[in-house]
C-alpha cells in the first residue's frame, strides 16, 4: 500500500521503544486501550447526563406509557440494546454501561484489528469522538462507529464479505439517520465500482450486490417505519426554510455545514453586533408577530428599521467592537477547512468503491446538514469515522497504484490527518469541562440540591422551559409538571402544541394548584436564554418580553414577575452548562398557595411514575 511516510516514522519510534522498554506491539496496544479506558471511565464518572441522553433511556427502557421507540426520530438499535440491558439489571446505569461497552468494543477492534500505524491509532484515540462524544455522551452514535469497524473487518475478509456485508449495512441503517445515509453511500459505491469495472455482469458480483443492496434497502425501510410517523418535530422545516439561498451558500462552503469539526461554530453569535442580533430575529419568519417582544434593545431595533446606526449598536453583545482581523481569519480558516474536507476524499482515489462511498456520503450529508437538519458534532463526526473505516479497508486490500495516483492520495491523506488533529482540542476542552469547569448539564447538581434540601426533597418541579426537566429523572424520582402539556409527565414530546405558548402567570397558577392540592412544595425553575443570545434575564426585564425555547414561547412582563415574587422564595441559581442556559430556582410552599375551585386530576400525580427503575 501507499502512504508509507507516517508508518515509517511510527515504526522507527516503535522499534526504539521496543528496544528500550521491551514492549511488543501487542503490549503497546493493550497499554493504549487501558489508558483510554481509564480516561473515559473517569469522564463518565464525572459526566452529568443531559436531555437527549436521558430521554432516549426513557424511550429505550419503556418507562413512558405514551411515547416509546416508535416515532421518536431515531431508529431502534440503540433502544433495543438499552432495553436488553435493563431487562437484566433493572438499573438506570445501563445507559453509561451500554455506551462504554459499545465504544470499548469499537476501540478494541480498531487497536487490534486495523492495519493502521501506532501513531495513527494514538491520534484516533485522542480525537473528540473516540475520547468523548461516542463514549462519555451516551447516545446512539458510538454504535455507528462499532458497526462501521465491523463492516471494515467483514469487507476485507474473503470468508465474511459475501454473506455479512448486507447485514452490516442493515444494522448501520438502524443506528441513526446519518448512518443510513452512509450505508447507502457504500452500497452506491459498490454498484458504481461494478459498473465501472464491468464486473456487474459476473454472476458472483450480481449475487453479492443483490444481497448487499437488498439488505441496505430493508434497513432503510425498517429505519423509516420506526421513525415515521414521528411525534418528534425537531427536524421539520417549512418549505421556505428549505428553499433558501443562505442554505445553498452553506452547502458550497462545507466547513460551515461541518461546523463542529472545523471550529466554525466558535465564530458564532458572540461575534455578531447588536444590529446583527436584531436582524437575526427579523430574518426568522416565525417571529413576525412578536418582533418587539423578542428584542430587548428597542434603540437598536429602531436603528435597524431606519438603517441609521450609532456606535453603540455596532458593538457586539458583550459591548465590544467586532474585530476585523478575527473576521478575516475566520474566512481564511473556513476556506482552509473546506479544502481539508474535500481533499480528504482523495486519500481513497483510485479505489472506486471507497472513493465513491466517501464522495457520495460527503455530498449527501453536506446537503442534509445545509437544508434539512443542522447537525451537531455527534452527527458530523460520523463522516470522519466512515473515512477511517474506508482507509482501513484500503490499507487491508493493498492494491497497486501508479505514481500520479499515489501522490494525489498522499495529499488527501495528509489533509485527513490535519482534520483528525483538529479533533484533539475539543476532546481536551470537553474533558476539562467535565471534571473542572462547565458541566454538560446541571441535572446532577440540581438533583443533588433537591435531594439534600429537606424542605423541598418531597416536592415537584415545574419550569418555564420544559427541556430542562427530563435529565433529572436519571438521578431522582421527583415528579415533573410539563407546562406545555398541562400535565405531569416524564418527557416533553418535542413538538409544538396548542399549549406551547404560556406565561409566568400560567406557571404560577399551575404551581398554586399543584402545591395546594397535593400539599407539597413546588420547585419552580425560571430559565434564561443562552448567554450567546444576549437576552436580558427574566428577573431583569423592564417591559413585556417573550423567550423562545426551541418549541416553546414563554411570555413575562414586570407585573407578572412582581406577583410571582410576592408568593415565592428564591433558593438557588445554576450557571449555564454546555447544553442548558442559566436558571434560577424558586419555591412555592403549600402555606403560600392560593386556589379558586376544586383540584382537577391534571394537578395530581403518582410519584411511582417517575421512578425509572420500577417494573415497566
Q: What is the pLDDT of residues 177-223, one digit of tens each?
A: 999 999 999 999 999 999 999 999 999 999 999 999 999 999 999 99
For residues 282-293, average pLDDT: 84
Structural domain for 92, as ranges: 4-232+328-435
**pLDDT score of 239:** 46
How would you write 412-459 as a 3-class SS string? HHHHHHHHHHCCHHHHHHHHHHHHCCCCCCCHHHHHHHHHHCCCCCCC
Q: Which pLDDT band, with edges at 50, 70 and 90, does 237 fall under?
A: low
End-to-end CA distance of the chain: 54
For residues 61-70, average pLDDT: 89
Residue 616 lies in a domain: no
My answer on whether 19 and 145 are in the same domain is: yes
Q: What is the pLDDT of residues 1-16, one digit of tens each?
A: 444 444 444 445 555 5
My answer on whether 478 and 348 are in the same domain is: no
My answer on whether 417 and 391 are in the same domain is: yes
Q: What percent of the chain has pLDDT over 90?
A: 78
Which range, 65-69, 165-169, 533-537, is most confident?
A: 165-169
**pLDDT score of 3:** 44
Residue 416 lies in a domain: yes
My answer on whether 125 and 192 are in the same domain is: yes
Residue 247 lies in a domain: no
394 compared with 256, residue with greater pLDDT: 394
3 state DSSP class of 349? coil
Which of 417, 435, 453 is at the close of a domain? 435
Q: What is the pLDDT of residues 114-153, one digit of tens each?
A: 999 999 999 999 999 999 999 999 999 999 999 999 999 9
My answer on whether 78 and 147 are in the same domain is: yes
Contacts 24+ apart (CB under 8 A), 530-536: 530/576, 530/581, 531/576, 531/581, 531/582, 532/268, 532/269, 532/270, 532/317, 533/269, 533/277, 534/269, 534/274, 534/277, 534/317, 534/318, 535/296, 536/296
Instruction: Read off the DSSP letter of residue 563.
Output: H
**pLDDT score of 434:** 95
**pLDDT score of 349:** 98
Residue 449 CB: number of other CB atoms within 10 A? Answer: 17
My answer on whether 63 and 146 are in the same domain is: yes
Number of domains within the chain:
3
**pLDDT score of 183:** 99
SS3 content of the chain, % helix, strand, coil (to 5): 60, 5, 30
My answer on whether 544 and 583 are in the same domain is: yes
Cis peptide before 209 (omega within 30 of 0): no
My answer on whether 29 and 151 are in the same domain is: yes
Question: Using CA of residue 292, residue 296, residue 298, residue 302, what is the dihedral sign?
Answer: negative
My answer on whether 384 and 304 are in the same domain is: no
Residue 526 lies in a domain: yes
My answer on whether 190 and 280 are in the same domain is: no
Residue 248 lies in a domain: no
3 state DSSP class of 576? coil
DSSP annotation string for 74-101? S-SHHHHHHHHHHHHH-STTHHHHHHHH
Report the C-alpha gap between 329 and 313 in whole angstroms: 23
Residue 244 lies in a domain: no
Q: Which pLDDT band, with edges at 50, 70 and 90, does 319 fall under?
A: confident
My answer on whether 47 and 196 are in the same domain is: yes
**pLDDT score of 194:** 97
Residue 256 lies in a domain: no
**pLDDT score of 160:** 97
Q: What percent of the chain has pLDDT over 70?
A: 92
**pLDDT score of 130:** 99
Which of 258, 286, 317 is at the close of a domain? 317
Residue 241 lies in a domain: no
Which of 406, 435, 464 is at the close of a domain? 435
Whether pLDDT at 246 is above 50: yes
Whether pLDDT at 287 is above 70: yes
Q: Write down the pTM of the prediction.
A: 0.93
My answer on whether 449 and 431 are in the same domain is: no
Question: How does strand 552-556 pair with strand 545-549?
Answer: antiparallel
Nearest to residue 358, comparing CAs of 213, 113, 350? 350
Amino acid at each position: 500500500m501507499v502512504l508509507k511516510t507516517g508508518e515509517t516514522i511510527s515504526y522507527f519510534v516503535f522499534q526504539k521503544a521496543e528496544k528500550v522498554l521491551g514492549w511488543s506491539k501487542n503490549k503497546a496496544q493493550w497499554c493504549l486501550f487501558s489508558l483510554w479506558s481509564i480516561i473515559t471511565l473517569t469522564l463518565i464518572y464525572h459526566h452529568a447526563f443531559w436531555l437527549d441522553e436521558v430521554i432516549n433511556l426513557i424511550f429505550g427502557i419503556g418507562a413512558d406509557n405514551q411515547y416509546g421507540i416508535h416515532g421518536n426520530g431515531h431508529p431502534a438499535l440503540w433502544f433495543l440494546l438499552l432495553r436488553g440491558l435493563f431487562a437484566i439489571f433493572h438499573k438506570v446505569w445501563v445507559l453509561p454501561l451500554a455506551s462504554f461497552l459499545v465504544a470499548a468494543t469499537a476501540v478494541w477492534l480498531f487497536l487490534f484489528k486495523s492495519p493502521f500505524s501506532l501513531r495513527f491509532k494514538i491520534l484516533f484515540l485522542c480525537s473528540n469522538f473516540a475520547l468523548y462524544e461516542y463514549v462519555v455522551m451516551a447516545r446512539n452514535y458510538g454504535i455507528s462507529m462499532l458497526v462501521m469497524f465491523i463492516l471494515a473487518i467483514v469487507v476485507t475478509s474473503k470468508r465474511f464479505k459475501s454473506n455479512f456485508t448486507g447485514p452490516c449495512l442493515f444494522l448501520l441503517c438502524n443506528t441513526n439517520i446519518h448512518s443510513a445515509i452512509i450505508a447507502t453511500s457504500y452500497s452506491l459505491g459498490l454498484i458504481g465500482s461494478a459498473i465501472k469495472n464491468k464486473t456487474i455482469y459476473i454472476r458472483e458480483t450480481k449475487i453479492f450486490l443483490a444481497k448487499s443492496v437488498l439488505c441496505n434497502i430493508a434497513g432503510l425501510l425498517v429505519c423509516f417505519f420506526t421513525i415515521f410517523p414521528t411525534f418528534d418535530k425537531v427536524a421539520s422545516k417549512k418549505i421556505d426554510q428549505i428553499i433558501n439561498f443562505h442554505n445553498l451558500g452553506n452547502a458550497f462552503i462545507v466547513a460551515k455545514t461541518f461546523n463542529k469539526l472545523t471550529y466554525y461554530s466558535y465564530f458564532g453569535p458572540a461575534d455578531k453586533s447588536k444590529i446583527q442580533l436584531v436582524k437575526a430575529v427579523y430574518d426568522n419568519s416565525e417571529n413576525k408577530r412578536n418582533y418587539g417582544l423578542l428584542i430587548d434593545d428597542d434603540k437598536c431595533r429602531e436603528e435597524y428599521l431606519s438603517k441609521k446606526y450609532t456606535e453603540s449598536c455596532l458593538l457586539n453583545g458583550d459591548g465590544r467592537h467586532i474585530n476585523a482581523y478575527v473576521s478575516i481569519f475566520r474566512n481564511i480558516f473556513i476556506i482552509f477547512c473546506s479544502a481539508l474536507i474535500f481533499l480528504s476524499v482523495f486519500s481513497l482515489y483510485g479505489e472506486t468503491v471507497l472513493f465513491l462511498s466517501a464522495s457520495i456520503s460527503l455530498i449527501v450529508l453536506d446537503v442534509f446538514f445545509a437544508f434539512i437538519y443542522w447537525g451537531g458534532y455527534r452527527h458530523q463526526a460520523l463522516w470522519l469515522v466512515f473515512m477511517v473505516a474506508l482507509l482501513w479497508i484500503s490499507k487491508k486490500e493493498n492494491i497497486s497504484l501508479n505514481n500520479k495516483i499515489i501522490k494525489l492520495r498522499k495529499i488527501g491523506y495528509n489533509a485527513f490527518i490535519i482534520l483528525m488533529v483538529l479533533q484533539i482540542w475539543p476532546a481536551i476542552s470537553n474533558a476539562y469541562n467535565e471534571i473542572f469547569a462547565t458541566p454538560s448539564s446541571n441535572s446532577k447538581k440540581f438533583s443533588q440540591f433537591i435531594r439534600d434540601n429537606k424542605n423541598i426533597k418531597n416536592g415537584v418541579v415545574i419550569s418555564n422551559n420544559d427541556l430542562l426537566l427530563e435529565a433529572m429523572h436519571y438521578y431522582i424520582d421527583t415528579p415533573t409538571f410539563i407546562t406545555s402539556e398541562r400535565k405531569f409527565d416524564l418527557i416533553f414530546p418535542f413538538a409544538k402544541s396548542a399549549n406551547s405558548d404560556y406565561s409566568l402567570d400560567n406557571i404560577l397558577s399551575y404551581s398554586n394548584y399543584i402545591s395546594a392540592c397535593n400539599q407539597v412544595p413546588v420547585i419552580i425553575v425560571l430559565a434564561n436564554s443562552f448567554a450567546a443570545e444576549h437576552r436580558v434575564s427574566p428577573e431583569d426585564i423592564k417591559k413585556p418580553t417573550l423567550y423562545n425555547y426551541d418549541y416553546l414561547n414563554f411570555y413575562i412582563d414586570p407585573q407578572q414577575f412582581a406577583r410571582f415574587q410576592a408568593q415565592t422564595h428564591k433558593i438557588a441559581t445554576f450557571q449555564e452548562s454546555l447544553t442548558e442556559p442559566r436558571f434560577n430556582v424558586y419555591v412555592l410552599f403549600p402555606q403560600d398557595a392560593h386556589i379558586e375551585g376544586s383540584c382537577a386530576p391534571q394537578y395530581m400525580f403518582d410519584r411511582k411514575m417517575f421512578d425509572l427503575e420500577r417494573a415497566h
